[in-house]
Each structure stands twice: as C-alpha cells, then as structure tokens.
Homo-oligomer: A and B are copies of this chain.
Amino acid sequence: MTASMIVTPTGVLKRVRRSVNELAESWPARFTIMVFSALILVFTGLLMLPIASADGTVTPLVNALFTAVSAVCVTGLTVVDMATHWSMFGNIVIMLGIQVGGVGVLTVASLLGLVVSRRLGLKQRLLAASDTNPMRAHHGPVSESQTVGLGDIGGLLSAVVFSVLVIEGTLTLLILPRLLILGEDLLTALWHSFYFAASAFTNTGFVPTAAGMDPFATDVYMLTVLGVGVFLGSIGFPVIFALYRFARMRGWRKPRRLPLHTKLTLLTTSILIVAGAAAIFGLEWDNGDTLGEQTLGQRLMTSLFMSTMTRSGGLATLDIDQMNGSTLLIMDMLMFVGGGSASTAGGIKVTTLAVLFLAAFAEARGYQDIQAFERRIPTEVLRVAVSVVLWAATIIATSSIILLHMTKAPLDHVLFDVISAFGTCGLSTGLTESLPDGGKYVLAATMWAGRVGTVTLAAGVAASTRAQFFRRPEERPIVG
C-alpha cells in the first residue's frame, strides 16, 4: 500500500487536482468546451423547474436556455424580466451560473493560458536551441511564468478564488450603504448588493432590481463602484495577479518589471475606455434622448461609464435604442474588442487588437520583429490573433445574416445585439427581447461561440503544434 492510496481529504484533493491537470493538459480546448456546454444544460434544466420562476410555472425551454447561456457566458442579455420573472431559487441558480461561468472561465482560461504558455515555452526552447543568431544567446528563453505570473495550477486556482472573494466582498460592502439609503431592508439590500457586485465583477450586467439602473443614472458613487468592478473583472486575472505581486511583494520575490501582457492589457484598455468615452461624448452631445439634457459633469460621467461598459460590463444608464447610428457603430467596435484575456470579459480581447496593430506598426517601420515595451512578440502570437479575429468575424457575420433575414430588423440594431452577444457584453438595442424563438437560439449560440470560441481557440489551437520534418520552398503571393 503506497502513501498515495491512503484516503485522506488531502490525498483525494491531490488526486482530483492531478486528474484535472492531466485532462486539462491533454485536451485543454475540448475540456473547456465540454465543461461549458454541460454547465449550460444543467442550468437550463434547473431554470425550467417550476420552483425557479416567481409564479411557479415551467419557464419555456427557449427562455430558460437563453438565460442559462446568458448567465454562464456572463453576457447579461435577457429575454425575460430578470427582476420579476425568477423566484429566489431561480435567482440563486442564476447567481451560481454567473460565478461558475465568470470565475470558472477565468480559472480555466488562465489555466489554459498557463498550459499553452508551457507548451509554447517548450517549443520556444527548442526553437531557441536551434537559433544560431549570436545576439539571441544573450537573452535565452524567457520563463513562461512571465506570461501568467504563476508557478502552478493549484496556486492559480487558490489565487483566483481568493481574489474573487476579496473583490466581490469589497464591492458588496461598498454598494450596500447605497441600497440601504434607497430604502431597501438589510437582507434585501445585502442580496442586491452582492448581486450587483457579482454582476459587475463577472462582467455579466444583470440588474436585480425592477427599477434597473435608473436610480443610479447620475449617481457618481454607484457608477464609480460598478465601473471599477467591471474594470477589474475585464482586465483579467493574470493582470490582477501581476499587479498584486508587483505592489505587495518585497525583496527577492518582487518582480523587477510588470509582464508584457499586463502592460499591453492596461494600456490598450485605457486607450479604448478614454477614446470610447470621448466618442460617445462627442457624438451624443446634442442628442436630447441621451446626453442632451444632462449637465456637463453628468455627460462626462455617463460617457465614461458607457465606454467602460463596452469592455463587457453591459450595464446601461442610457437608452441604447435612442443613440445615434454613429455612436452605435463606435460601441460595436468597442464591444467587438471586449476586455482582457483570461478575464470575465468577452470579445476578441484587447491584447489581440494590440498585437494586430503592433504587427502593422512593425511592418510600417520595417522591423523584423513585432515589438512592444522592449520585448519581442513571437510570430505565433500574431497567427493566434488572426485566428481569433477571423473566428469572431465569421460568427458575427453568420449570426447577423441569419437574424437580418429572419427579422428584417435594421442592420444597426441587429449588428449591435449580435456583437453584444458575441462579446458577451449584454448591452441591447431592445432587439433581443423581441426576437422570435429561432432568433433567441441563434443569439444563444452566438454567446456560446463568443465565450468558448476565442478562449479555446487561443489555447487549444496553439497547444497542438506538431513537429515538421521538412519545410516547403518559399513563395510570396502579392497581397493588398
């Protein structure tokens, strides 16, 4: 009898962890897709139970599935009134879906990122070994720990759970007094605060109260708290963790610099938030149905809040339906990009956009390498970025064409809701609610493809790099 066969809690945990590791390492992409799809089916089943609806009836499959997908994919699009349709049981199921979907994704994605970076790290070392460039030898392969900033998957899991508890807990405590002031009793206020906190940090965008965001439309405190929650969720766990390590570690454990991923994510996110806010501010300035009646300060705050929400928070203090077509197109682009990698946000991810622009910049300057922050980004990363964008464009185009043909709705509304679904943003022109059942299924599939697609594409695809024993002769087609 060996030590590992003794059944102790620690022993079981270790073995479970080992199995999960093995499964994740052998089939990372399929593993995520499997977990996701299974989760969605379980939550659909739970939401269809009579006990889940406020009036004790069976919620139709299409609405239960849509809500389950919207929760597990942390999208926040709705086809029923979230504040009144569900019972407490239903709400707890949804909350569970959000946490498992949002945080679970975050975990699995980080885990995949780690696995991938390990493999790529290996491949990189192999490549580096055959690299005879003398300049190259001074640097040597870079430790993959720079990518995620963590040494092992167990530590990663613990760190995720810990940071979620801390962040959601803090947000809950910050929101609580605001809801008490609004006149809610302590228990209700606590539940709603937690719901708001989880909805913000997981970038879901469900609102638990019947009045929606209206009471807070010009509330600096509440919008700031929610905005920060969404921001923290959207930059992604690897970034949060890197920032934490950088800020707290001392002595030899303190990293000398922030990882490239962290810098790229923060810079690109900041640029998008500021530019988005400026565009919304400028284009909606004189729109009487949106910003037109607000004070200057309110206009600035609303623009900044709405811009942050396109990262993929999805809470809205303006009527999307009343916005100008130009603003909708700007928001389409912002939602398309979404948030950070391995985050609760969706979209193609800010680093994907950054890598594409860095590649174009490198080309324009005639650099041999794609570079950023004095680091070289390998070409495989560009290929992954291109794959992700093509995937996104294909899904969005297909979904839009089907919905356009099905509903004959105007393109700006269809495109907005489809990109919002793909980027799991959850903002809506109102089209989603009015879709026929077929359209709801299409949009649910779009959310699913958006959530599992980009993440597993980035991870699973690259993980299967195979050795090639000969290379084809080179030939260049003319492009452009």
Q: CA–CA, A359 to B411, complex, Å?
A: 30
Q: CA–CA, A367 to B469, complex, Å?
A: 11
Cβ-closest chain B residue relative to A470: B135
| Minimum distance in angstroms from A276 CB to a CB of chain B | 12
Contacts of A260 in B (CB 8 A): 475-477
The A394-430 residues at the B interface (CB cut-off 8 A) are: 397, 400-402, 404-405, 408-412, 414-415
Q: CA–CA, A378 to B103, complex, Å?
A: 39
| Minimum distance in angstroms from A92 CB to a CB of chain B | 32
Contacts of A472 in B (CB 8 A): 139, 369, 371, 374-376
Q: Which of B330, B355, B366 contacts A479 (CB 8 A)?
A: B355
Asked if A238 is at the interface of the complex by the 8 Å CB criterion, the answer is yes
The A361-379 residues at the B interface (CB cut-off 8 A) are: 362-372, 374-379
Contacts of A377 in B (CB 8 A): 474-477
Cβ-closest chain B residue relative to A371: B472
Q: Is chain A's binding surface mostly helix, strand, loop or mixed? A: helix
| Minimum distance in angstroms from A142 CB to a CB of chain B | 5
The A335-353 residues at the B interface (CB cut-off 8 A) are: 341-342, 348-349, 351-352
The A297-353 residues at the B interface (CB cut-off 8 A) are: 324-326, 328-330, 333, 341-342, 348-349, 351-352
Cβ-closest chain B residue relative to A465: B366
| Minimum distance in angstroms from A466 CB to a CB of chain B | 4
One of A34-42, A46-54, A218-226, A450-458 contacting the partner: A450-458
Most B CB atoms within 10 A — which of A133, A366, A376, A408?
A366
Contacts of A265 in B (CB 8 A): 477
Contact B478 A351 (CB under 8 A): yes
Q: Which of B341, B366, B415 contacts A411 (CB 8 A)?
A: B415
Contact A383 B359 (CB under 8 A): yes
Contact B471 A329 (CB under 8 A): no
One of A78-86, A192-200, A384-392 contacting the partner: A384-392
Contacts of A368 in B (CB 8 A): 465, 468, 471
Contacts of A362 in B (CB 8 A): 383
Contact A381 B133 (CB under 8 A): no
| Minimum distance in angstroms from A239 CB to a CB of chain B | 10
Contact B412 A410 (CB under 8 A): yes
Contact B411 A325 (CB under 8 A): yes
Contact B135 A469 (CB under 8 A): yes
Contact B476 A117 (CB under 8 A): yes
Contact A480 B384 (CB under 8 A): yes
Q: CA–CA, A330 to B458, complex, Å?
A: 27
Asked if A113 is at the interface of the complex by the 8 Å CB criterion, the answer is yes
Cβ-closest chain B residue relative to A453: B480
Given contacts A326-B405, A329-B411, A411-B410, contact A386 B384 (CB under 8 A): no
Contacts of A325 in B (CB 8 A): 404-405, 408-411, 414
Cβ-closest chain B residue relative to A114: B478
Given contacts A130-B133, A325-B410, A326-B405, contact A117 B478 (CB under 8 A): yes
Asked if A24 is at the interface of the complex by the 8 Å CB criterion, the answer is no
Q: Which of B136, B342, B356, B375 contacts A478 (CB 8 A)?
A: B342
Q: Which of B326, B366, B462, B473 contacts A401 (CB 8 A)?
A: B326
Contacts of A356 in B (CB 8 A): 386, 390
Asked if A120 is at the interface of the complex by the 8 Å CB criterion, the answer is yes
Q: CA–CA, A130 to B362, complex, Å?
A: 21
A-B contact pairs, 26 of them (CB 8 A): A139-B473, A140-B473, A260-B477, A261-B476, A261-B477, A324-B404, A328-B411, A329-B411, A330-B401, A348-B480, A351-B477, A354-B477, A359-B382, A363-B383, A366-B464, A368-B468, A372-B477, A374-B473, A376-B474, A377-B475, A381-B477, A381-B479, A382-B383, A388-B479, A411-B411, A459-B480
Kindly list the 3 A-B residue pairs having the minimum CB-CB distance in the complex, ordered from nearest: A458-B480, A388-B480, A411-B412
Known: A363-B462, A375-B475. 5 other contacts (CB 8 A): A355-B477, A363-B461, A374-B472, A410-B412, A455-B480
